[in-house]
Structure 1
Amino acid sequence: MIPQSIFPSVVWSTLFDDRESLNIKLLEQARAMQASNPAGVANTNVKGWQSPGILQTLTEFEVINRRILQVCQSIGDSQNFSRDVIYQHQAWINISPPGASNKIHYHANCHFSGVYYISLKAPECGSIFFRDPRVASRMLSYPADKPTQFTTDEMSMRPEEGRMYVFPGWLEHGVEVNQSDQDRVSISFNVLAARGPAR
């Protein structure tokens, strides 16, 4: 029996070598943003703080902004995206104290979504999880004693400082409750690969 995956939902992952020094600066900038706007914005975060989606316009986040685009361009190249596409993004900070989580949601009108982890206490801080988009169209549930990638309705990815996960914007996802004793700090982003002007 030879299994062959068709129509896969892919999650890409990368771990930055210089994550320790990078994250020290990002954490300082994240805390400064929170201090300047304590109310933040309300989206899918529950009991957490979220910045406006303006990191892409701020010079102090230039390094992580560049890396987000580089990672997504590399993914696009691996998937034969047209060479004339221009990658644009929107990014924001999430600060999730103990007890905070993110409701399940998806991001419309973008090719990629993702998260980069700055500071956390794993594994108690809560994982990002993904829901199988085909669940609603299933006729029957699988009578499996132990879930596999084929039979499960949800898959989790464990957070790690310095790790970035990228996934299709249409893939439903959420974040488990932070059960650790410290904040989980991350940057989330959406990326659009738009065709450039005709040459």
Structure 2
Amino acid sequence: MVGNRSDWFPTAVWNFDLDTHEKLNQDLLSAIYAEKQRDAQGVNWSNSLGWHSVDNLHQKHPFKPLMDIVLTNATEVANCLAWDLSKYTVTVNNCWALVNGKFSSNFLHNHPNSLLSGAYYVQAAEECGGLFFRDPREVTHMTMPPLTELTPWTLQKVTYKPIPGRMIIFPSWLLHGVEPNLSEDERVTVSFNLGLRPIA
């Protein structure tokens, strides 16, 4: 007898690679370092050792080209998730930049009060630390049987390699963090939270 299997409660993570990102990233890098110069202390949210900007960058002109791309990609995600975009539109709730030098990281966290979150890589060298996600079904790992291989059903953690021009979008509730930067170069990212606004 062969059983019928159903898979429920999937967790999707999307990544988008921009074909032409060099000019965009150069402009973003200049804008981010200008922000860092104006506010060298920054804020301390999930960052360890690195610099974290204020979270209103989506309202500033140098970041508008990136926000246009964010909204295009996020709308694709929303359609995939069957959100009702006949009555609502996807919006950027807040946006911030991170500059992580050697040994900087971001500890495990999620993003309350939003639906989707994301990160865009402006500058990323080899060994600069990947974005990792932890299996949200914590109780499934209380007792693990011996495994012949790791699969999407048994992985406890998955890591995305940082690549300049790559954007990753994921559910805001999904626990995630960033590995330590082991390179000599600063890892520079722009992160954002997304929500819905009723169409007037």
TM-score bracket, normalised by the shorter chain, equals over 0.9
Partner of 2:64: 62
Partner of 1:160: 163
Tell me, in whole angstroms, the C-alpha distance in 2 between the residues paired with 1:113 and 1:139.
28
SS at match of 1:25: helix
Partner of 1:32: 34
Tell me, in whole angstroms, the C-alpha distance in 1 between the residues paired with 2:176 and 2:166.
17
SS at match of 1:187: strand
2:95 is the counterpart of 1:91: yes
Return the offset for 1:16. 0.8
Taking every aligned residue pair, what percent have the same amino acid on both sides? 32
Q: What amino acid is the match of 1:144?
A: L
Report the CA distance shift for 1:21/1:7 in structure 2 as closer, same or farther (over 3 A): same
2:117 is the counterpart of 1:120: no
Return the offset for 1:119. 0.4
Tell me, in whole angstroms, the C-alpha distance in 2 between the residues paired with 1:139 and 1:190.
31
Tell me, in whole angstroms, the C-alpha distance in 1 between the residues paired with 2:139 and 2:53.
33
Partner of 2:185: 182
Return the offset for 1:196. 3.1
Tell me, in whole angstroms, the C-alpha distance in 2 between the residues paired with 1:41 and 1:113.
19
Partner of 2:107: 103
Partner of 1:81: 83
TM-score (norm 2): 0.92
Return the offset for 1:145. 4.8
Range with bigger deviation, 85-94 or 2-11? 2-11
Tell whether the 8 Å contact from 1:55 to 1:65 is kept in structure 2 after alignment: no
Determine which of 123, 131, 134 is the counterpart of 1:131: 134
Range with bigger deviation, 158-167 or 148-157? 148-157
Report the CA distance shift for 1:3/1:187 in structure 2 as closer, same or farther (over 3 A): farther
Return the offset for 1:88. 1.8
Tell me, in whole angstroms, the C-alpha distance in 2 between the residues paired with 1:178 and 1:112.
25
Gaps of 5+ in 1: none
Tell me, in whole angstroms, the C-alpha distance in 1 between the residues paired with 2:142 and 2:170.
26
Gaps of 5+ in 2: none
Tell me, in whole angstroms, the C-alpha distance in 2 between the residues paired with 1:136 and 1:98.
34
Return the offset for 1:3. 5.8
Tell whether the 8 Å contact from 2:27 to 2:62 is kept in structure 1 after alignment: no
TM-score (norm 1): 0.93
Return the offset for 1:4. 4.9
